[in-house]
Chain A
Amino acid sequence: VNFRAQPGIEGVLRTYFQKLDAALASLPRTRRQQLVGEIRQHVDDAVAEQRPNSESELRDLLARVGAPEDIAAAALEEDPPTPQGRKHDGLVIAIVVLLLTGGLTIGLVLAFVVPPPSAQSSRSNPAKPHPKSPTTTGTTTPQSTTTAPPPPPTTTTTTTPTEPPPTATTVTPAPPPVVPSGVYDSGVAGTPHYFMVLTNGSAGGLTGSVDFAYQDGQTSVIFTFEGTVQGAEATLTPISVPQNGGGAQQDPSTIPSAMPLTMGGLSSGGYVIALGECASYLRFIQSMGQCNFVYSPTGSP
C-alpha cells in the first residue's frame, strides 16, 4: 500500500511532524533534529509494519507514538536547558561581537599602514592577472567556497605585455550554468540522506565525494569522484570507494565507472545538481527525485 500517495494521510503526517518540531523548539537545533529524525524513523517502521489504510488508522498509530507535547515534555525532562547553556550562548555572541569589532579595527589600521594593492607585487593577489604579465586570456571560474554562490562570469578580458591596463573588453555568449563549490543535500538534516561535496576546479574540472549522513549527524564517504564539465553536463568517474565499515558503505563493484551529473542551476530552492540514475546504484535512494542535490548555504549536510 503506497499510503503516502494518499494526500489526506500525507497531510496527517506532515501536521504531526510540524507540531512535533514546534513543540521541541526550545531544544538545541541539533538535538531537536536528531529527536525528530528518530521519531520519523519510528513512524516509518510502524507504518511499514502496520500498513494503515486510512487517516483514522494512521491517527491511531500516531497516538501510540505519542502527542508531540508529551514527547517534548519527556525530552525536556531528560535533558533540561541549563543556565550554563545560556551562558555558553552568551559567550558565543560575545566572541562574534569581538571578532567583528576587532576585524573592523584591524581593517582600519591596515588601511593606513599598508600601501594600496596597485603598489604591491602580484604575488599578494594571485587571483588577478598582473598588468605587465604576458598575454593572458582567462575566463573567471568559481573557486572553492562554501559560503555564498559567486556571481556568474560574463566577460573575458584580454591583455598584452605592452598595454599596461586592459583596454578591450569583449562580451562573450552566456556561460553554461555554473554551480558553486560546496555541500549539496538530497535530504534534510536529522534524517539519513546522501549529500555531495563538490569542488569546481579550474578548466571545467570537478572533484568531490558522495557521502551519507546518518540520523545522528555522523557521516561517511560512499565514493570520491572526478569529472569534467561540458556545458551543463558533467561525467563523473569514481576515484575511490572507501570500505570504512559504515552502514551505508557500498561494494566498489556497485559504483558505475561513469555517472552523469546535470547542473540544474539556480532554482527556487537554491542551486540544484542532479546525479543521473543514482537510484540504480545508491542503495538507500528510493526514487529518482532523490537524485536531486540542493546547495546547502550553511555548508553542512
Chain B
Amino acid sequence: MHAPLGTMRRMVASGAQLAQMRRGAIEYCVLALLRERERYGFELVRELSAADGLVTSEGTVYPLLTRLRGEGLVETTWQESNQGPPRRYYSITEPGNQALESFVDQWTRFRSAVDRMLEAGGVT
C-alpha cells in the first residue's frame, strides 16, 4: 500500500527542512566545542557524531571545517602525535567567538519562541 502523494511530499519536505536546520546549527556546535578547547579533526567529528541527529555521516563535516577555516572562524595548527603522522588541530578564532556569541543570543530567543508556540498548541 502506497502513502498518499501529499503525505509523501510532506515527508520529503520535512527531511529537507531537518537537513537545513541541521546545517544551520552544526557549524555553531563546532565553534562551541572548539571554544571549550582545541581538538583534532577525528576527535571533533566523533563528538559531533555522538550527539543524536546532529551529523548524518562523519565525512560531511570536513567540507564544513574547510569553509569555517576559509571564513577565518577557526584556525589550524599541526601537532605531533605519538600514534602516527602529525595531526591538524582546530581552534576557534576571535571572529569565531563573536559569531558564536551572536548565534547563542539569537538561538535562545528563537528556541524560546518556538517552545512557547508548541506548548500553546499542546504538542509538547
Contacts and interface: CB of A to CB of B under 8 A. Distances in A.
Interface of A: 31, 34-35, 38-39, 41-42, 44-46, 48, 63-67, 70-71, 73-75, 77-79, 192, 214-216, 218, 246-248, 284
B59 A65 contact: yes
A66 B66 contact: no
A277 B76 CA distance: 33
Given A66-B59, A248-B86, 6 more contacts: A38-B62, A65-B59, A67-B57, A70-B59, A78-B63, A78-B64
Nearest to A38: B62
A75 B78 CA distance: 23
B101 interface: no
Interface in B48-91: 49, 56-60, 62-64, 66-67, 70, 76, 78-80, 83-88
A48 B59 CA distance: 17
B100 interface: no
Contacts of B66: 31, 34-35, 78-79
A46 B42 contact: yes
Interface residues of B, number: 26
Contacts of B80: 247
B62 A35 contact: yes
The 10 closest A-B pairs by CB, nearest first: A66-B57, A247-B86, A247-B78, A66-B59, A74-B60, A45-B42, A75-B63, A78-B63, A71-B59, A192-B85
Contacts of A284: 84-86
A218 B42 CA distance: 20
Contacts of A65: 57-59
B63 A42 contact: no
Contact of B56 (A35, A66, A78): A66
A63 B79 CA distance: 28
Given A75-B63, A78-B67, A79-B66, A192 B86 contact: yes
Contacts of A46: 42, 58
11 contacts: A31-B66, A48-B84, A67-B57, A70-B60, A71-B62, A71-B63, A77-B23, A192-B85, A214-B88, A246-B86, A284-B86
